[in-house]
Structure 1
Amino acid sequence: MPYSVVSDPRPYKIPESVLVVIHTPALEVLLLRRADAEQFWQSVTGSKDHPHESFYDTAVREVREETGMDALAPGFVLRDWQLENVYPIYPQWQHRYAPGVWRNTERVFSLQVPAGTPVVLNPREHTAFAWLPWRKAAERCFSSSNAEAILMLPRFVGRPS
């Protein structure tokens, strides 16, 4: 499937993305409120910049772009869950993808950060953030795949739920 059209100077989004659940050792989860849909709270998400960018590199880049955090910093633990969700692209964002692209594949990661890690939002993407206990964070998410990932967090980080 084409990801860009020669006559259109804007490349289409690649339908391969990451979901990064950022949390503290106590399982406080960081949620971000979207700038383009203020009722939507979510974890860090974002598409690959180019088809050959790895999901891991996409996760590191998206965390930096959306929160100002360096996922590779000492004391941070980035985990690839080796889990992928495939879901329909929301109609309000369909125009960002090439014609005929209706589904996205999302790779799930978690990033453990020390409590008190500062968050610097990209105002073009997010307008607010909140650290919430993992169950409350799952309840606030608009995306069912994001909520499900948060509910699986204790299992993936080796903590009892």
Structure 2
Amino acid sequence: MNPPHPYKIPESVLVVIHTPDLQVLLLERADHPGYWQSVTGSKDTLDEPLALTARREVQEETGIADGELLDWQLRNIYEIYPQWRHRYAPGVVQNTEHVFGLCVPSARTVTLAPREHLAFQWLPWREAADRCFSPSNAEAVLQLPRFAGHR
């Protein structure tokens, strides 16, 4: 693999972690208390496979190392907030987010990355969607029954 990229790579993952009965894990952001989200994170290198990015971010942010990872083949392209653009190469204003689901056997206590998150909670999928601060995250959670095989 290549060495870490000098700028944040504008390609990221969103991982909806859930149980077979559609309980969804949400994390409270340390930099914005009250803002809840799924696991997110950017590729570390240009050639890092997206599934590896998803597994790495889940492990770093929650300590979860098991579960069935599924690429939902959904992409969200959004404008990077101006206050975070300095992390990216000059002129980069958009990010492409790839959506994954990770089914774990049951809700459990997770190990949070303290610089990133303050708390976690497992919620029924509709409640989780309502709690997400990001519209693309909420929409991904609303897609969960379809991707988890529930109708």
**Which TM-score bucket, shorter chain as reference?**
over 0.9
> AA paired with 1:145?
S
Match of 1:83 in 2: 74
Aligned equivalents of 1:136, 1:37: Cα separation in 2: 20
Q: What residue ranges of structure 1 are gaps of 5+ in the alignment?
A: 5-10
Q: Please, which of 95, 98, 101 is the counterpart of residue 110 of structure 1?
A: 101
The equivalent of 2:119 in structure 1 is: 128
Give the letter for the 2:53 counterpart: T
Aligned counterpart, 2:25: 30
> Which whole-Å CA distance do the structure 1 matches of 2:18 and 2:73 have between them?
18
Q: TM-score, normalised by structure 1?
A: 0.88
Quote the residue 1:8 is aligned against.
none
Partner SS state of residue 143, structure 2: helix
Instruction: Give the structure with higher Rg (CA).
Output: 1
Aligned twin of 2:54: 59
Superposition misfits of 4+ residues, deviation over 6 angstroms = none
CA RMSD of aligned residues (A): 1.3
Q: Could you list the per-position Cα deviations for residues 91-147 of structure 1 after superposition, in whole angstroms to 9, with x for gaps in the alignment?
A: 222221111100000000000112133300000110111111101110111111000
Instruction: State the alpha-carbon separation in 2 of the partners of residues 120 and 100 from structure 1.
Output: 36
Q: Percent identity?
A: 67
Q: Structure 2 unaligned runs (5+)?
A: none
CA distance in 1, matches of 2:82, 2:21: 36
TM normalised by structure 2 equals 0.94
Structure 1 counterpart of 2:7, which letter?
Answer: Y
